[in-house]
A = this chain, B = another copy of it.
Amino acid sequence: MKTPTPLSRRTFLNTLGASAITLPALTDVLGRPITTAGNQDRKLGIALVGLGSYSKNQLAPALQQTKHCRLAGIVTGTPAKAEEWMQKYNIPKANVYEYKTFDRIADNKDIDVIYVVLPNSMHAEFVIRAAQAGKHVICEKPMAITEKDCQSMIDACKKANKQLAIGYRLHYEPFTKEVMRLGQEKVFGQVKFIESSDAFRIGDPTQWRMKKSMAGGGPLMDVGIYAVQGARYVTGEEPVSVTAQFSPKTEPQKFKDVEETLFWQFRFPSGAVSNSTTSYTAGVERLYASCEKGWFELSPAFGYGPLKGRTSKGPIEQPVVNHQAMHMDGVCKDLLDGKTLPGHITGEEGKRDVRLLQAIYRAAETGKTISL
């Protein structure tokens, strides 16, 4: 990557007494030549596709706090929601799309990034359409239901020369970054065992998360993916095999389409092993690592915060942040700076997880150890 004359610009900024120095690229995301001041002020316009609970309660409020992006548009199939959001967030009518008119967003200079917040089964279609509209894309997790879809999404973004991020907000979250460091830098020695579980008692049984055709599965697709991520980012390794077990359904009518509770065990190349639980009927949220010379733990570990952590030496102290704001700002800052997004939040990472989710299901269905 070309890094033009950083020293001279740093020196210039220092003379202004800037205490937190940012090094903007010399062109913005659209390739326009920019001044340092101009880029520092510029916010990428984000359009949210799908105005469900996560958009409404997390992303839109977070976008009121972001420095490098702003809520610029919405895509929804519900006119009443469009009205409500336009008023609440001062969104011009020209930046409001329906699903069928969505592709016209290509012509909208206000929109730089499309954030796909739809049911899992719709991710592939809308990520591909967003890329074809010439926009960068953020896609909620899980990236898709199949690896094949993930690859199509990656290919479409590549072809459009646009970047694809997955909604892996925790990679920007300070407690999470600290346990990544503790594990990967072997601060307590080699990680030997991980208990990584994410589960909650689901409400409304009619929601799309309970439909296999839309969600691709049950709690594993929804929150279990965090437990998969946790075991991976604490070790910094990719699992080499997996075993898994469905637990019998206690509410078969409610869970006629997806699993109720699922356990799985990963083995990593270093010999580290993990044991995990996900469920839509019980709650647990923990990332615990036992190492050769101590342990560390986050609990809560995966929710919207505040997360809490401790180690065998005492509490983990980190600032409490808005996860979604940190994530979107992190992604958009890199886009503004013309940088390639870090690998652990891209489509390739999303595909790795989807591959693991599918392997967990296969292990549970067959009762066999699945090599990865």
**Contact surface of A with B, Cβ cutoff 8 Å:** 192-193, 195, 197, 199, 201, 243, 245, 247-248, 250, 261, 263, 265, 267, 271, 273, 275, 277, 279, 281-284, 286, 288, 290-292, 295, 367-368
CB-based contact B192/A282 at 8 Å = yes
Closest 6 CB pairs of A and B: A250-B271, A193-B282, A192-B282, A282-B290, A247-B273, A283-B290
CB-based contact A245/B243 at 8 Å = yes
- Where chain A touches its partner, the secondary structure class is strand
User: Which listed residue (B197, B199, B265, B282) contacts A263, Cβ 8 A?
Assistant: B265
The minimal Cβ–Cβ distance linking A330 to chain B, given in whole angstroms, is: 32
CB-based contact A284/B288 at 8 Å = yes
Residue of B nearest to A283 (CB): B290
The minimal Cβ–Cβ distance linking A239 to chain B, given in whole angstroms, is: 12
Point out the residues of chain B lying under 8 angstroms from A281, CB to CB: 192-193
The minimal Cβ–Cβ distance linking A193 to chain B, given in whole angstroms, is: 3
Point out the residues of chain B lying under 8 angstroms from A283, CB to CB: 193, 290, 295
CB-based contact B277/A195 at 8 Å = yes
CB-based contact B284/A290 at 8 Å = yes
CB-based contact A261/B273 at 8 Å = yes
Kindly state the separation between the CA atoms of A261 and B243 in the bound complex, as whole angstroms: 14
CB-based contact B367/A284 at 8 Å = no
CB-based contact A195/B195 at 8 Å = yes
Point out the residues of chain B lying under 8 angstroms from A271, CB to CB: 248, 250
| 26 pairs, CB–CB < 8 Å, chain A vs chain B | A192-B201, A192-B250, A192-B279, A193-B261, A193-B277, A193-B283, A195-B277, A195-B284, A197-B275, A199-B290, A243-B245, A247-B265, A247-B273, A248-B267, A248-B273, A250-B271, A263-B263, A263-B265, A263-B275, A273-B282, A275-B277, A282-B290, A284-B288, A284-B290, A286-B288, A367-B368
Contacts A195-B195, A277-B193 given; indicate if A247 touches B261 (C-beta within 8 A). Answer: no
